[in-house]
Amino acid sequence: MLLVDDNPADVDLTTDVLKRNPFPSNVHAVVDGIEATAFLQRQGKYKNARRPDVVFLDLNLPGKDGRSVLAEVKSNPALRAIPIIIFSTSNAHKDIESSYELGANCYITKPGNLQGFVSTVGALANFWFSCAMLPGREK
């Protein structure tokens, strides 16, 4: 899984919850859209990166924002099948609508409290790693 978020606390907490989850997952985190694109296209220091099964993508990132990353991934035939979950603090209707228009597979607003955050990340992991059929993975 690829986690794209510039908030170190959110990265640490999400990574911790995912590592404690019963579903095996390798979490790779990057802090901006430029690194996310390089990781997904296996460029530079990410030339040997495995294609992630799922991407958790924040919208508000430095450099290249999440909307641009989403648009690039979903317009690239080699990458478009990767599920992209928007995981953002924004609950603005325009962000939700534009994310789905750009091809997001899911839009989740980050809960503002620790218990809600942990519960939401756990539920997302449960769904995407135990219920959903992902491209390139056999159940």
- Domains of the chain (ranges; CATH) run 2-130 (3.40.50.2300)
Is the pTM higher than 0.85? Answer: yes
Residues 27 and 55: beta-carbon distance below 8 Å: no
Per-residue pLDDT in tens (0 to 9) along the chain, 139 residues: 999 999 999 999 999 998 887 776 789 999 999 999 999 999 999 999 999 999 999 999 998 999 999 999 999 999 999 999 999 999 999 999 999 999 999 999 999 999 999 999 999 988 988 888 777 654 4
Pairing of strands 55-57, 28-30: unpaired
